[in-house]
Amino acid sequence: MQARLFFALWPDTALRASLHQHALSLKQQCGGRATRAGKLHMTLAFLGDVARARLPELVALARDCRGDAFELCLDKTGCWSRQHIVWMAPQRVPAALARLVAALEAALRSHDFRLEDRAWRPHVTLLRDAQAPRDAAQPALQWAVRDFVLVESLRGEYRLLDRWPLGGVPPG
């Protein structure tokens, strides 16, 4: 039996509401379908279909990935016009985020999990089937990242399977 899995950063309720409000605002000018608030996240590593028997291995591997808590500023909105996806992302990727992704990818590869061939681009998908936004008001949304999660995509719904805290307290 297979599970469709990915590791992600999962926003808290307040940030999720702000992201969703920005998506709805952009939808007025870009069209498309807004991502439901409960599905907003930032993918760290997409695994795709994985045998359910390997879930304990994934949980152990993630538990051993050490990372520091950090502050993330989502301050850039853009569009991948080929895919018709409008997203929000940080202009500057915190070093702690880059280290976390690198540690996860290295651990996954060392356990023979397959990852996407394309380079990781940090973003939160706001709209699908949309046009590129024009000059829109650009909020800067602050995200206090304190953990990461393993998520299963099941018939269009997301289910959090486990959560791991990040260590330390970020400066500032």
Say which residues have a Cβ less than 8 Å from residue 62's Cβ, sequence separation at least 6. Answer: 7, 104, 107, 148, 150, 162, 164
Say which residues have a Cβ less than 8 Å from residue 75's Cβ, sequence separation at least 6. Answer: 90, 91, 138, 139, 140, 141
Other beta carbons within 10 Å of 50: 18
Check residue 111 and report its DSSP letter.
T
Kindly report the CA angle at 2 between 157 and 107, in degrees rounded to 5?
A: 95
Query: In 3-state terms, what secondary structure has residue 37?
Result: helix
Say what angle helices 55-64 and 95-110 make with each other, to 10 degrees.
140
Query: In 3-state terms, what secondary structure has residue 132?
Result: coil
Which amino acids are annotated catalytic? Answer: 41, 123
